[in-house]
Amino acid sequence: MTISSLFRQTLFFADLAANTSAPVPIDKWQLFWGASTGACVYILTTSYRYLVDRSFDPKYNAAYATRLVCGIVAGFILAQVSGFFISEGSPWAKVGPGVLALLGGFAAEAVEEVLKRMVAVFMAVVNGTGEQQSKVQLQEQKTNVADQQSKKTAALWQSLSTIPLDGVPPAVVSKLRAIQATL
């Protein structure tokens, strides 16, 4: 890259900044460095107490490196999906994507929770709400209870029809027949 091409790019971005009606493109490097800075701040503040106590153990270096990568990815994600959950009237709408990337890099666990909630909303759209599922389950239970009651009624009717009625007073026989008729 020559100096003249760098100068032309600088003038191009200066013209974009001067023209307030033109949208400024999100620079991926801005997101990368914001997320990296947030992840590094988290790692340094976490490891600081071990350094002060002189109890830092190098065997955890892989965990710190993993946290750095997770922080960078979380920062990118938060900066990219922030438009879905930040309303335009909110004070957070004035925060730039680089700052959101920094926050996401620092708080990767918070970004994980945001993603879990977004997945839960998506699953509710696909599967329906819990209320709809509970209505379906209630209807299935009612159908099962009705089937069981029908089987019990049929068994009772069969039992009543097999009772020997020889020598039973006619009033008792007529009551049994009335019960059997209601079934």
pLDDT for res 8: 45
Grouping H, G, I as helix, E, B as strand and the rest as coil, residue 2 is coil
pLDDT tens for 138-180 read 888 888 888 888 888 887 777 777 777 777 788 887 887 787 7
Q: What is the mean pLDDT of residues 103-126?
A: 88
pLDDT tens for 61-90 read 999 999 999 999 999 998 888 877 777 788
Q: CA-CA distance, 59 to 183, in Å (whole number)? A: 77
Task: Annotate 89-154 with DSSP letters as a single string.
Answer: TSGGGGS-HHHHHHHHHH-HHHHHHHHHHHHHHHHHHHH--HHHHHHHHHHHHHHHHHHHHHHHHH
Query: Model-level pTM greater than 0.85?
Result: no
